Amino acid sequence: METSAATIISPPRRLTIKKRAALGLLASILGFATFQNYYNSISLVDDSLSQRQLSSSWIERHPERGVSAWARNNFRPLSSAPDEKETVLFWHIPKSGGTTAKSIYRCLDQTIASRLPPSISRTEDKELVAFKPYGQRGGTYVNVDMTTRSGMLRAEKMGLVASGKADMLFAMDPSFAGEHLYDKEHKGRILGLFRHPVDRLASKFYYLQKADWEKSYRPEWADMSILEWAEKHNEEGNVMVKKLAGVKFHDTATDAALRVAMRTLEKRFVVGLTENMKESIRRFNIVMNIDGKSQRSQIRTCMRKFFGHGTLKTNSNPHPKLEPGSPAWDVLAQDNALDIQLYEYILVLFDRQGEVINSYARGISQ
């Protein structure tokens, strides 16, 4: 179990729709840099470092400070319009809609680098190839394994991003993938789908006790309550902040790491929400330049498949809802307090990014 270095008096709660709207309105009135300073004052420990580094004047003088080096050096900022040559890195956070996103982009004929079953993966080949392991009706994949560091190092050695063979890379470790597969000559774009951390962990608990096809299958979890699991068996604590700020899994994330995570998301990520998947995919499509007139028929077909009547949800697992304020919810919230603060910030970013993404679309259509 892990707690923040800060003193946590009570578990964070969800932002209500009204509060989220109020924060978005405040961001518009104050300007985003000034709003970030305000948000910091209500969400983080009030120390001199956070006040100095997130003040609007400091941000103006140091617009890229606070962004993780791997993201700052190797990925394009949100202020930069999309380029057709960009290779997208999709941060696949388990149980946040990443598998569904992968299926959608397979439907949209995007060439994907992720992971295939060993029997058809062709990861022993000496050259990179884009191929259709499931025949003409299946998607196109590159013969790499993005789920392990050894697999990503092999992809780095073979020049995956420079080769241009993949449109999208799906990785659960964005900092390692960003540092090793991209560089200043081959900058990419980062996308991610985000879900409330407690909801995501509850989904993980119920999913892995049944998913015997997963390497991380945990049948023993079926015999315990979610409260017992949260108190004694859950090893995750603030994993989003850790991944973004470069903190090791078993180390403690601090408020300084949270500030790095916030700045990295603000400056480099196109954020999507699992709870608003359709709009998120629409934005991703614009960023990836797959929103042109020639593609609209295919886009409509794929969107109807996943968002229309009889919606297809890949890797979904119905389970009991964990209610805010319940003992298990409070335990998980306490152990993931920084991730919850980061998620609340993501909600604000999602509201702010809409107009920016739409400006990309207007530029593409002109």
Q: What is the pLDDT of residues 293-345, one digit of tens each?
A: 557 788 888 888 888 755 555 556 778 899 999 999 999 999 999 999 999 99
Beta strands in 86-184 (DSSP E): 88-91, 112-113, 130-131, 141-142, 168-171
The pLDDT, as a whole number, for residue 185 is 95
Q: Tell me which of 60-64, 161-165, 224-228, 254-258 is least confident.
A: 60-64
The pLDDT, as a whole number, for residue 43 is 37
Q: How far apart are CA 9 and CA 3, in angstroms?
A: 11
Q: How far apart are CA 73 and CA 302, in angstroms?
A: 34
Q: Mean pLDDT across the chain, nearest whole number?
A: 84
Q: Which two tokens stand for residue 15?
A: 């932002």
Beta strands across the sheet bearing 112-113:
130-131, 141-142, 112-113, 168-171, 88-91, 189-194, 269-273
**Integer angstrom CA distances of residue 202 from 192, 288, 296, 331:** 20, 32, 37, 12
Q: Tell me which of 78-87, 110-119, 264-273, 339-348 is least confident.
A: 78-87
The pLDDT, as a whole number, for residue 240 is 97
pLDDT digits (tens, 9 = 90+) for 184-197: 999 999 999 999 99
Percentage of the chain exceeding pLDDT 70: 78
The pLDDT, as a whole number, for residue 250 is 92
The pLDDT, as a whole number, for residue 60 is 54
Is the pLDDT score of 87 beyond 90? Answer: yes
pLDDT digits (tens, 9 = 90+) for 33-59: 444 443 443 333 333 334 444 444 555
Which amino acid, residue 61?
R
Q: Which two tokens stand for residue 242?
A: 């850790």
Q: Which two tokens stand for residue 44?
A: 């983080």
The pLDDT, as a whole number, for residue 316 is 62
Q: Residue 62 — very low, low, confident or very high, per pLDDT cuts 50/70/90?
A: low
**Integer angstrom CA distances of residue 135 from 90, 113, 128, 140:** 24, 17, 18, 9
Burial class (CB in 10 A: 0-12, 13-18, 19+), 138: exposed
Q: Which two tokens stand for residue 317?
A: 């697992």
Question: Is the pTM higher than 0.85?
Answer: no
Q: Nearest Cα to 327, choosing from 203, 230, 239, 233?
A: 230
Q: Tell me which of 22-26, 125-129, 336-340 is least confident.
A: 22-26
The pLDDT, as a whole number, for residue 102 is 95
The pLDDT, as a whole number, for residue 61 is 62
Q: Which residue has the tokens 């909801």?
A: 199
The pLDDT, as a whole number, for residue 2 is 47
Say how many C-beta atoms besides its own lie within 10 A of residue 246's C-beta: 16
User: Which distant-in-sequence residues (6+ apart) come within 8 Å of 347 by Cβ?
Assistant: 15, 20, 23, 273
Pairing of strands 168-171, 130-131: unpaired
